[in-house]
Amino acid sequence: MSAARATESNGAGTTDGRHPIAATREELTGWGRAAPTVAHVAAPSAADDVAGLVVESGSRGVIARGLGRSYGDAAQNAGGMVLRLGGLDRISPVDPITGLVTCGAGVSVDRLIREALPRGWFVPVTPGTRQVSLGGALAADVHGKNHHRDGSISAHVTSLTLVDGRGALRTLTPSEELFWAVPGGMGLTGVVVELTMRLIRAQSSRMQVDTTRTTSLDETMAVLEESDRTSRYTVAWVDCLARGPAMGRGVVTAGDHAPADAAGDATAPSLGRRGMPAPPWVPSGALNPHTVGVFNDAYYLMAPRTPRRSLESVGSFFHPLDVVPGWNRLYGARGFVQHQFAVEDPQCVRRVVSLLSRRRAPTLLCVLKRFGPAGRGPLSFPSSGWTLAVDLPVSDSLGSLLDAMDEVVLASGGRVYLAKDARLRPESLVQMYPRLDEWRFLRDELDPEHVFQSDLARRLHL
Amino acid sequence: MINALGAPQSVLVLGATSDIARATIERFAGAGRLQRVVLAGRSGAGLDAEVERVRSSGVPVVEASAFDARDRAGHERVIAGAFGGGDVDVVLISFGVLPDENQVRADPLAAADIVDVNYTAVVTTLLACANHLRAQGHGVIVVLSSASAVRGRASNAVYGSTKAGVDALACGIGDALCGTGVSVVVVRPGFVRTRMTAGLRPAPLAVDPQDVAEVIAKNLTGGSRTVWVPAAMAWVMRVLAVLPRPAFRRLSI
């Protein structure tokens, strides 16, 4: 489609027989449901349409949006254009020898697993939800429970095609420097329309999981380190409301794909069952130190006292966030913020958990994990050491708590994850990502006019 | 951008030398995200001092803009200038005068001048800002109304009528902007101890500019709404609003 036609379609829709791509005004938020802004949203279903919309995007620019799972404002563009890419949904057959598969950027991890798993393949990296698009996953350079072994998703992408700031299609491979501006670039380097990645073999759709309950933060961290040596997938849930010697007690789960002979019942649902959705409305403050304390105690006590091995579905092991659809509504109308940081120094993790425990922060979900070596992307989040992710409901005092956490993280040379961020200081970003200028240099080559814009980019002066 | 916790990065103040404006900027700066403040007001030593004050509080970019509420034709230039320098997250409309009621009643043209400043100038600035913010797709206009907007009183009929106009306009525009990413927060303080009210006997439930600032800062993320300072004032005025006139006029308020 020509650029001129795209302009016309902004208002009236196309008449060439394909889906019209009329832009509609829509209020958008991130998964945390805070800080809504309004953009012109279009849903192109072909790379040419994307290119046309990029060329005609106007002074407030354009950003791609996948499934809206970024917690903050990464996939919002106030007053500008937002492209929903669910229409780019093609999946090629998986190469039976190499495991390579080529997917449209709008393909979700969920769909890819459903296509690939019955044929003995699995995604090389999956975040805690399957409801992310591959384009979004690459833009945030997502990691999974196997980061200590396999790195983040960009390590498994062998080629990508994007629409750059001039509306031109470019295919990039990891041997090119420009490729590495994309993972972690939060969509500001162009609209990825297609990518090829290498799947891994999975003998079965079951996971062999070791669960260990720990009584203190030191033990949680020690068990996690030990599990990293034996298991491909590891993570710990941490009780941030526990106090005194129990502070940082948790549940460590470590797993591997179960071999075919150990997988047992092959008819069991591989992705687990979909649970009850969250109610459409929940009062703000329903999740407070008291209710969350009760939940955390119950979750902790339900975990086996002595280490236990069990078989789990892929869904229940990898994607706990998909059990309750719309769980982000549980935080009420004011929404919530997730703070996730990566740091080398284990003392930093101790200081933050102690801060959360002292301040009685109602964290339902607090996840600790070890990262392997950093990837090559200048803005890629994962870096060697530890990562802690905490969900916190928006309250009047949350700003100062998160700023205090930032200070602790900064003092240890750590960084926060932009896919989760909704409130970082721009000056902190510069300190946390020392390769920012390198990324800006590459971005300027892909998008010299800074056509790609988002609320996140405006807020952090990216 | 206003972040997820309601802290803005850029603010345009129309009526920068008001005590409430000063307190509000201080409160915003306290959240540590404020990057740019445009202070529009009558040029002079007062405005210069305000620029210095905000600068010394650590805001990197502080601009002064000559703004005269009576110069209607000049409003768009001031506002376009502020938006031309980058996104504006919050517009605070805080100018206004509290006249001596007896004086303006004796001089109808002086009363009309109060209407020009307190009401007509709010109409032109509010509408102009709304247009710029719509194009931006985000932002909040904070309008200082007054508890006196709710019911005309013998002791401040002229002032109250201007605030009633402001209040009705701001509520209506706020609702009209629903779905545009822009909201209007209508603030109805009771008696605020400021330079404007110096010498007057403080009414019950009197508050300080910092109290008004606190309420403004906490209400930037909830969409268009009306807030009272203090909150208890809402109930007092709801009762007064339904009082029969013969009873109401006997109250010495």
Tell me, yes or no, if A58 comes closer than 8 A to chain B by beta carbon.
no
Tell me, yes or no, if A60 comes closer than 8 A to chain B by beta carbon.
yes
Q: Which residues numbered 274-333 in A keep a CB inside 8 Å of some CB on B?
A: 333
Helix extents (H) in B116-177: 121-136, 157-176
Predicted ipTM of the assembly: 0.93
What is the separation, in whole angstroms, between the first and last Cα of chain B?
42
B179–A73: do the CB atoms touch at under 8 Å?
A: no
Asked if residue A297 belongs to a domain, the reply is yes
* Shortest CA gap B131–chain A (Å): 12
Q: Which residues contact B102 (CB under 8 A, 6 or more apart)?
A: none
Q: pLDDT band for position A9 (50/70/90)?
A: very low
Same domain, A264 and A242: yes
Residue keyed to tokens 């509000």: B24
Q: Is the peptide bond before B99 cis (omega within 30 degrees of 0)?
A: no
Q: Which residue of B has its CA nearest to A29?
A: B4
How many domains does chain A contain in total?
2
Asked if residue A313 belongs to a domain, the reply is yes
To the nearest 10°, report the CA torsion of A109, A112, A113, A115.
Answer: 160
Asked if residue A384 belongs to a domain, the reply is yes
Question: Mean pLDDT score of chain A, rounded to an integer?
Answer: 92
Q: Which residue of B has its CA nearest to A461?
A: B1
Tell me, yes or no, if B1 comes closer than 8 A to chain A by beta carbon.
yes
Show the tokens assigned to A122: 């699995």
Asked if residue A94 belongs to a domain, the reply is no
Q: Which of B186, B174, B184, B75 is nearest to B124 (CA)?
A: B75
Cα–Cα distance, B66 to B248 (Å, whole number): 42
Same domain, A233 and A355: yes
Distance of CA A445 to the CA centre of its chain: 26
Tell me which amino acid residue A308 is. R
* Shortest CA gap A363–chain B (Å): 17
CA Rg, chain A, in Å? Answer: 22
Asked if residue A86 belongs to a domain, the reply is no
- Residue A265 confidence (pLDDT): 63
Cα–Cα distance, A379 to A163 (Å, whole number): 20
Mean pLDDT of A266-285: 77
Tell me, yes or no, if A25 comes closer than 8 A to chain B by beta carbon.
yes
Which residue, of A153, A185, A202, is where some domain finishes? Answer: A202
Give me the residue from B4, B31, B179 closest to A72, CB to CB. Answer: B4
Helix (H, G, I), strand (E, B) or coil at B36: strand
Same domain, A222 and A288: yes
Cα–Cα distance, B184 to A166 (Å, whole number): 37
Show the tokens assigned to A408: 């602790």
Tell me, yes or no, if B60 comes closer than 8 A to chain A by beta carbon.
no
Tell me, yes or no, if B214 comes closer than 8 A to chain A by beta carbon.
no
Helix (H) / strand (E) element for B182: namely strand B182-189
Tell me, yes or no, if B179 comes closer than 8 A to chain A by beta carbon.
yes
Give me the residue from B3, B137, B179 closest to A459, CB to CB. Answer: B3
Mean pLDDT of B72-90: 97
Mean pLDDT of B25-29: 97
Give me the residue from A39, A399, A458 closest to B31, CB to CB. Answer: A399
Q: pLDDT band for position B196 (50/70/90)?
A: confident
Q: pLDDT band for position A268 (50/70/90)?
A: low
Tell me, yes or no, if B103 comes closer than 8 A to chain A by beta carbon.
no
Same domain, A190 and A332: no
Paired residues of A214 in beta bridges: A250
| Greatest Cα pair distance in chain A | 68
Cα–Cα distance, B156 to B105 (Å, whole number): 10
Same domain, A105 and A232: no
- Residue A11 confidence (pLDDT): 39
- Chain B partners within 8 Å of A78 (Cβ): 1, 87, 136-138, 181
Determine which of B5, B34, B136, B218 to mutate to test the interface with A (most A C-beta atoms within 10 Å). Answer: B5
On whether the CB atoms of residues A158 and A100 are closer than 8 A, the answer is: yes
Mean pLDDT of A313-341: 91
Tell me, yes or no, if B197 comes closer than 8 A to chain A by beta carbon.
no
On whether the CB atoms of residues A337 and A392 are closer than 8 A, the answer is: yes
Tell me, yes or no, if A462 comes closer than 8 A to chain B by beta carbon.
no
Q: pLDDT band for position A14 (50/70/90)?
A: very low
Tell me, yes or no, if A166 comes closer than 8 A to chain B by beta carbon.
no
Same domain, A214 and A130: no
Q: Which residue of A has its CA nearest to B223?
A: A36
pLDDT at A20 over 50: no
Helix (H, G, I), strand (E, B) or coil at B59: coil
Show the tokens assigned to A331: 């935080």
Same domain, A190 and A231: no
- Chain A partners within 8 Å of B180 (Cβ): 25, 38
Asked if residue A264 belongs to a domain, the reply is yes
Give me the residue from B4, B181, B182 closest to A394, CB to CB. Answer: B4
Cα–Cα distance, A63 to B109 (Å, whole number): 54
A337–B7: do the CB atoms touch at under 8 Å?
A: no
Q: Which residue of B has its CA nearest to A422?
A: B4
* Shortest CA gap A35–chain B (Å): 5
Cα–Cα distance, A281 to A254 (Å, whole number): 35
- Interval A367-397: pLDDT, tens: 999 999 999 999 999 999 999 999 999 999 9
Instruction: Write a three-state SS string for chain A.
Output: CCHHHHHHHHHHCCCCCCCCCCCEEEEECCCCCCCCEEEEEECCCCHHHHHHHHHCCCCCCEEEECCCCCCCCCCCCCCCEEEECCCCCCECCCCCCCCEEEEECCCEHHHHHHHHHHHCEECCCCCCCCCCEHHHHHHCCCCCCCHHHHCCHHHHEEEEEEECCCCCEEEECCCCHHHHHCCCCCCCCCEEEEEEEECEECCCCEEEEEEEEECCHHHHHHHHHHHHHHCCEEEEEECCCCCHHHCCCEEEEEEEECCHHHCCCCCCCCCCCCCCCCCCCCCCCCCCHHHHHHHHHHHHHHCCCCCEEEEEEHHHHHCHHHCCCCHHHHHCCCCEEEEEEEECCHHHHHHHHHHHHHCCCCCCCEEEEEECCCCCCCCCCCCCEEEEEEEEECCCCHHHHHHHHHHHHHHCCCEECCCCCCCCCHHHHHHHCCCHHHHHHHHHHHCCCCCECCHHHHHHCC
pLDDT at A298 over 60: yes
- Chain B partners within 8 Å of A335 (Cβ): 4
Residue keyed to tokens 């401040």: B156
Asked if residue A5 belongs to a domain, the reply is no
B181–A78: do the CB atoms touch at under 8 Å?
A: yes
Give me the residue from A80, A394, A402 closest to B137, CB to CB. Answer: A80
Cα–Cα distance, A392 to A337 (Å, whole number): 5
Helix (H) / strand (E) element for B62: namely strand B61-66
- Interval A215-238: pLDDT, tens: 999 999 999 999 999 999 999 999
Same domain, A413 and A269: yes
DSSP 8-class letter at B147: G
Cα–Cα distance, A270 to B143 (Å, whole number): 56
Tell me which amino acid residue B26 is. E
Cα–Cα distance, A371 to A228 (Å, whole number): 10
- Chain B partners within 8 Å of A36 (Cβ): 181
Same domain, A106 and A220: no
- Identify the weakest region by mean pLDDT among A288-297, A420-429, B9-18: A288-297
- Interval A64-123: pLDDT, tens: 999 999 999 999 999 999 999 999 999 999 999 999 999 999 999 999 999 999 999 999
Query: Sheet of B182-189: strands edge to edge?
Result: B61-66, B36-41, B10-14, B90-93, B139-144, B182-189, B225-229
pLDDT at A150 over 50: yes
How many beta-carbon pairs under 8 angstroms link A with B? 77
pLDDT at A19 over 60: no
* B12 burial type by CB count under 10 A (0-12 exposed, 13-18 middle, 19+ buried): buried
Cα–Cα distance, A356 to A412 (Å, whole number): 17
- Residue A187 confidence (pLDDT): 98
Asked if residue A440 belongs to a domain, the reply is no
- Residue A269 confidence (pLDDT): 64
Between helix B121-136 and helix B157-176 the angle, nearest 10°, is 20
Determine the Cα angle at B135 with ends B134 and B140, to 5°: 40
A458–B32: do the CB atoms touch at under 8 Å?
A: no
Q: Which residue of B has its CA nearest to A394?
A: B5
Show the tokens assigned to A53: 């919309």
Better-scored residue on pLDDT, A5 or B15: B15
Mean pLDDT of A164-183: 98
- Residue A89 confidence (pLDDT): 96
Helix (H) / strand (E) element for B63: namely strand B61-66
pTM of the complete model: 0.93
What is the separation, in whole angstroms, between the first and last Cα of chain A?
31
Return the CATH number at A350: 3.40.462
Tell me which amino acid residue B34 is. L
Helix (H, G, I), strand (E, B) or coil at B10: strand
Which residue, of A178, A202, A226, is where some domain finishes? Answer: A202
Distance of CA A123 to the CA centre of its chain: 15
Same domain, A169 and A250: no
* Shortest CA gap B218–chain A (Å): 7
Mean pLDDT of B195-202: 86
Tell me, yes or no, if A423 comes closer than 8 A to chain B by beta carbon.
yes
Percent of chain B's residues with pLDDT above 90: 92
Helix (H, G, I), strand (E, B) or coil at B222: coil
Return the CATH number at A139: 3.30.465.10
Same domain, A255 and A364: yes
Tell me, yes or no, if B2 comes closer than 8 A to chain A by beta carbon.
yes
Determine which of A425, A428, A453 to mutate to test the interface with B (most B C-beta atoms within 10 Å). Answer: A425
Q: Which domain holds residue A333?
A: 206-431
Cα–Cα distance, A399 to B79 (Å, whole number): 30
| Phi, psi dihedrals of residue B104, rounded to the nearest 5° | -70, -25
pLDDT at A253 over 60: yes
Cα–Cα distance, A342 to A389 (Å, whole number): 9
Same domain, A227 and A354: yes
- Catalytic annotation, residues of B: 159
